[in-house]
Amino acid sequence: MRLLIVGTGGMANQHAAHFKAIEGVSVVGGVDVVPERLAAFCTEHGIANHFSTLEEALAWGEFDAVANVTPDRIHHPTTLQAVAAGKHVFCEKPLATDAVKAMEMTEAIERAGKVGMVNLTYRNSPALQKGRQMVLAGEIGAVRHVEASHLQSWLVGRHWGDWKSESKWLWRLSKKHGSNGALGDIGIHIVDFASYGSGLDIAHVFARLKTFDKAPDHRIGEYDLDANDSFTMNVDFTNGAIGTIQATRTAAGQMDQLRLRVYGETGSVEIIYDTGKSSLRACLGEDVHTATWRDVPFDPVETNYQRFVQAVRAGKTQEPSFRRAANIQKVLDKALASDLSHADEALA
């Protein structure tokens, strides 16, 4: 499989390394509008072909699939171009900045009969996959209550860099630079984590978003710091269960933690991904009567990168698909609407 990487910023390095490690995959080209960044990326990863525009790369055409690692607002036009040219697409999250665009991309790639998958990276957690299996197998009975959180701290700590001076962080705080804030950036992850792990779809959302004061006049250089930093959601699931979903960039002491607890009629599971490490506990059977939690073992799972390659080779999309990401985007859009309306918003 010959792969073209579009957008050569920080996350593109992960794509290049993961795809090159898969037998039979070659990263044959890179695309970026910043020549220096493109040259450095291609040199680091031994990529022979450099293009300043996607149009140039498509005119060349010697590749099978595209890894779209452009900024969020660029996913929509570049993906549609790639699909029109008959290419499979592995897109960074979020699929698009709103559900209308995301569904347009979904329908386009499905009509074309091409593989379209989205890099919801926390699907790579083996604890999430095992916990979901337990829930779907009925080991905790019917799900009644869900609580989920995604906690980061880069607005209060410098462990990932200095957000006040680095553009790779500042754009995430600015609406005009294409950011939907914490909701758009990590909200898609924790909503997917909660919904996928519990095996349930969300029916209603009641949300609150908050943007904190972070600089004089809420601005640093060209960046207006107006995108949300934290959010909370109360949700109803389609089976009648209820839950809470929250995320923030201001959780001092938490580098990157996702936690999900799924409570059922006869037991519970707790799934944690914490800065690269996964854990899984359960309270089942007679342990329910003593509130005893026990660690649950799990096996390694394939990564999204590996699943995408398998999907292209088989000609059949695997999860997480474009359609899944578009449906999650609907939840995020409803959360934005709920924050404005101060009302519960129903998913269509």
Q: Which CATH superfamily is domain 2-121+307-316 in?
A: NAD(P)-binding Rossmann-like Domain (3.40.50.720)
Is residue 18 predicted with pLDDT exceeding 80? yes
> Average pLDDT over the chain, rounded to whole?
97
pLDDT computed for residue 168 by the predictor: 84
* CATH class, 126-300 region: alpha beta
Q: What is the pLDDT of residues 184-201, one digit of tens each?
A: 999 999 999 999 999 999
Q: Rounded CA gap, 318 and 248, in Å?
A: 30
Q: What is the pLDDT of residues 139-179, one digit of tens each?
A: 999 999 999 999 999 999 999 899 999 988 999 999 998 88
Is residue 128 predicted with pLDDT exceeding 80? yes
Residue 154 is encoded by which pair of tokens?
């880069």
Is residue 348 predicted with pLDDT exceeding 80? no
pLDDT computed for residue 167 by the predictor: 87
Q: Domain spans of the chain?
A: 2-121+307-316, 126-300
Asked if 102 contacts 322 with a C-beta cutoff of 8 angstroms, the reply is yes
Q: Rounded CA gap, 74 and 117, in Å?
A: 16
pLDDT computed for residue 295 by the predictor: 98
Strand order in the sheet with 49-51: 49-51, 26-31, 2-6, 65-68, 88-92, 116-119
* Strand boundaries in 188-252, DSSP class E: 202-210, 219-220, 223-224, 230-237, 242-248
Contacts of 341 (CB under 8 A, 6+ apart): none
Asked if 190 contacts 180 with a C-beta cutoff of 8 angstroms, the reply is no
pTM for the complete prediction?
0.94
Q: Rounded CA gap, 198 and 144, in Å?
A: 10
Q: What is the pLDDT of residues 32-43, one digit of tens each?
A: 999 999 999 999
pLDDT computed for residue 247 by the predictor: 98
Q: Residue 36 is inside which H or E element, if any? A: helix 35-45
End-to-end CA distance of the chain: 38
Contacts of 194 (CB under 8 A, 6+ apart): 146, 148, 243, 245, 260
Is residue 331 predicted with pLDDT exceeding 90? yes
